[in-house]
Each structure stands twice: as C-alpha cells, then as structure tokens.
Homo-oligomer: A and B are copies of this chain.
Amino acid sequence: MEENNSNIMRLRRLGIETHTEKIIFMRADSPVCRSEGFTANTRVSVNYGSQSIIATLNVITSELIEHGEAVLSEEAFNKLGATEGDLITVTHIQPILSFSEVRAKMFGKKFNESAIQRIISDVTKGLYSKIEIAAFVTVCSGDNLALDEVIYLTKAMINSGSTLEWDEPMIIDKHCVGGLPGNRTTPIIVPIIAAAGLIIPKTSSRAITSPAGTADAIETMTPVNLSLEQIKDVVRQEGGCMTWGGAVKLSPVDDVIISVEKALDVDSAGQMIASVLSKKAAAGSTHVVIDIPVGETAKVRSKEEAFLLEYYLRAVGLSIGVGVEVMITDGTQPVGRGIGPALEAMDVLSVLRNEPDAPTDLKDRAVQLAGLMLEVAGAAPKGRGTDRALGILESGQALDKFYRICEAQGGFREPVPAAIQHDVLAMTSGVVQAIDNRKLAKVGKLAGAPKSAGAGIHFKAPIGKYVKQGEPLFTIYAASQGELSYALNFLHSSTQIVQLAAL
C-alpha cells in the first residue's frame, strides 16, 4: 500500500498509563480514520521512523486533541522510543497468519514445530492482542500439550530472546514448581552453591498466581533488575547471582504470556515446563535441580502428577541438552512463616543468620536441595551433599556470600513488613489437621501481595500444632485499610483455611 500523507500525525503526550496495553487515541473525524475506516478498537500499525508497533485505537469525539494530533499511551511511547511532537503514520495491520494455528488447535489439531515457532515469534513481536494471547494460553492449558508440542514450545521460547554463554563447562541451577506459599529456598541455596565454588547464575520470576515470586522476595533485600552484562559481572565476581529473569531478554515472550496467565489466574503444565526450561537453557545452565512440592492444595496435587511432570521435565531437558534432576517434596503446608515478598525475605535472613528461632522446615529444604545440587555437580559424594551444604550454611560462609552477592547487585537492605496488621484467631481449640494453601495464598494476594511488598501473611499454625481458642492462626499484613478489608471479606465468605480437630 502506498504511504499516504494524510496518515502523518503529530504525537501528543497526556501521561496515560495502560499497563502493557498499547493504545493510540485519534479524533473520529481525522482523515486517517475516515479514509481507512478505522473505528474504536481497530488494531492498527503505528509507525515511527523504522520502528513500528501494533496498538488498539480509541477514538475521541471531543475537542480534547487538535486536528492532526494523536496521543499514545505511555507504554506505546516507550516501545516506539518516540517523544511528544514526533511524527508518526498509522496504517492497517497485516492479518496475523500464525493465529490460524491457534484456531486449529481449538479444533483439536496438534501444533507442529513451525506452527509454534511462528506463534511465539509473532507474540514476541507484540502482534497478538491480549484476547488472542488468552486464547493461546487456554489451548495450551491443562494437559492439552503433548510432549513434542512442549519441546517445540521450549525451543521456540529459547529462540525468542538472548542467550548467555559461559566459559565454565558446568553451570548449575535450581527451580521450584510453585504453588507452595513461602517456599523461598533460592536466596539460601544460591550463596551455599556459590560458596562451594560452583557457578550459579540464578534468574527468578515474579509471582504468576502466588502472593510472591522469588524475584519479588529478593527485591525487598537487593536490586534484581540487572542487565545481562551486570549479571555476568556479578557471577564472574561472586560465582552466583539472584536476579529477575524478566529484566534480561532471556525467553522474553514468557513474561507476555505470564501477564495473561496472571489475569486468568491459570497456568498449565506444558507452558510451565517450557517456561522453566527455556529460561534455564537460555541462561546457559547445563544442570538443573527441580523441586516439586506435592500436596492436595499445592500446584501439584499427587505423586502421580509429580512423576508425570518429572518425566516431561527430563524428556524436554534431554532434547534441549539440559540435565534435569527432580526432588519431590512435602507440599501439604506453607514453608517458613512468611507469605508475601518482605515476610518471606525475613524468613530467609533468619535462616542465613542461623537465628535460634529460624524456621527449620525452610532451612531443611534449602539444605537438601543444595545438597542434591552439590552431588549433581560432583562437589560432594552421593549421599554427602546435605552435610556439606549444612556445613556451609552453619559456618556463616553462606551469609557472608549472600551479603557479597547483594553488594555486587547494588547493595543490601532489610525487608520492611506492611504497617497494618490483623490477627486471625482460632474459634475453637484443637490440633491443626490441614491447611488450604490456595485460599491462604488468595488471602495474601487480596491483602496486596506482591504489589505491596510488605503485605501478606505471617503463618503461625503448622500441621500438628495444638492451638488454643483465641490464639492467632495467622496475621494479615496490609499497606491499606481497603486491602485489609478485602482480604477479611474473602475470609468471612469462605470455608475454613486452617482445619482444627479437638484433642
């Protein structure tokens, strides 16, 4: 199509934030809307020099903007690299051919390698609208992806971004398949492994459906938004790092997909495997230990499910050249006492500092995982890894290494819990029988976690504990009264989270 002069418009900035959505505002009576037939919600191509993005059109029927002007949302300004006063053109978008593969999948056709590559490439380029991504997430959800589809997806996600290369022959990493509140072993394991002289360039994700991701928790203690160059410097200096994967372009498409999964509060086995292993492969890892907590209200509910996941992880790992070891752990209750970024970080610090009241479950789990990693890396004989990890932790070497990594990442700070607190009390006396982790996570999220880093839950009633009537089961932390009320409303309208049985 010939470029048309009437398509040229001058940008105006009105400071409109729309999260990751790219919006363009134009007058309904503008020549481009009239000649091209654009109306509200049309997806259009916005072109600035050699850059172009796809944006959703909102039309203005008032005199808010002048003739010849167009307004972009802040996200669109940033993506284009344009500023107020710059000239843009607005044109039709090409049909997104790869979406026909998503449509075919809805009708039961399997993805082939080329289909997934084209879809992931188009999502990476920002061509998919949110609802198109929602449809893709949905067709990949549950057990709708077969092993070969997961392998294609993993490879496509590795190819969607940058990769890290290392001189060392062995790069070790770990990952936890979430779903268990408070299970924040990473900032304990990384310093243990690095103190043992191994290389562990750990990048973590932010929360998908939980009240805190590992990156959210670590961010309350040290900066996590490091570039690839900064990560290399930190790892070269200290042997390990603890950063946010989304800040670098390792499998960048993952974050786009995750933002939709988050809005739908859903994630799927196939996508999770591809997400995890693509990030590990892109980070240059050669060996990965994966923690799968199993429990009725954890993400993985049964041992059978965990075994199947282990099979998928190993098989996909094999096909992309990453050695995978799995540790199946107890997922029946929260690990540690904090749920939410700052509250979890406080647990981590008390373990690293060998405080007498540090949560032993968190400590035990971190040391076991670190032990397996040491064994996998040949840094401890079979069966002796846990002992070696415990030695490094209890000698203070791990704490020392933790502070050094934090300093290298930009400095250490103490995490700060939210100001407003509310105790949830036991209505009767009894022994804790079971805990609904999903509902507990939901209360933490409604209280504001992870957006409010200090918000969340301090949990006080582990399974087997005898609790007296009127004693606190847990404390809710919130940054605003509105969020506290919201969490309490859910609590009152919902069935018991902590089940007690009379003695």
Q: Does A321 contact B (CB under 8 A)?
A: no
Q: Does A86 contact B (CB under 8 A)?
A: no
A59 neighbours in B (Cβ, 8 Å): 16-17
The answer, among B135, B141, B144, B480, for a CB contact under 8 Å with A264, is B135
Q: Are B106 and A62 in contact (CB under 8 A)?
A: no
Question: Which of A32-40, A149-157, A180-188 touches B?
Answer: A32-40
Q: Are B92 and A486 in contact (CB under 8 A)?
A: yes
Q: Does A64 contact B (CB under 8 A)?
A: yes
Interface residues of A, CB < 8 Å — how many? 71
The answer, among B19, B64, B94, B138, for a CB contact under 8 Å with A135, is B138
Q: Does A219 contact B (CB under 8 A)?
A: no
A139 neighbours in B (Cβ, 8 Å): 138
A64-B64 Cα distance, complex, nearest whole Å: 9
Q: Does A263 contact B (CB under 8 A)?
A: yes
List residues of A (15-43) whose CB comes within 8 Å of B's CBs. 15-21, 23, 25, 28, 35-37, 39-41
A330 neighbours in B (Cβ, 8 Å): none
Q: Are A37 and B451 in contact (CB under 8 A)?
A: yes
Q: Are A39 and B19 in contact (CB under 8 A)?
A: yes
A58 neighbours in B (Cβ, 8 Å): 16-18, 23, 73
Can you list 12 A-B pairs, Cβ within 8 angstroms, ordered by A? A1-B486, A1-B489, A15-B64, A16-B60, A16-B64, A17-B39, A23-B58, A95-B442, A103-B264, A132-B134, A135-B135, A135-B264
Interface of A with B (CB < 8 Å)?
1-2, 4, 13-21, 23, 25, 28, 35-37, 39-41, 58-62, 64, 73-74, 92, 94-95, 99, 103, 106-108, 129-135, 137-139, 141-144, 260, 263-266, 268, 442, 446, 448, 451-452, 479-483, 485-486, 489-490
Closest 6 pairs between A and B when the two form their complex, measured CB to CB: A15-B62, A19-B41, A15-B61, A138-B138, A134-B134, A106-B141
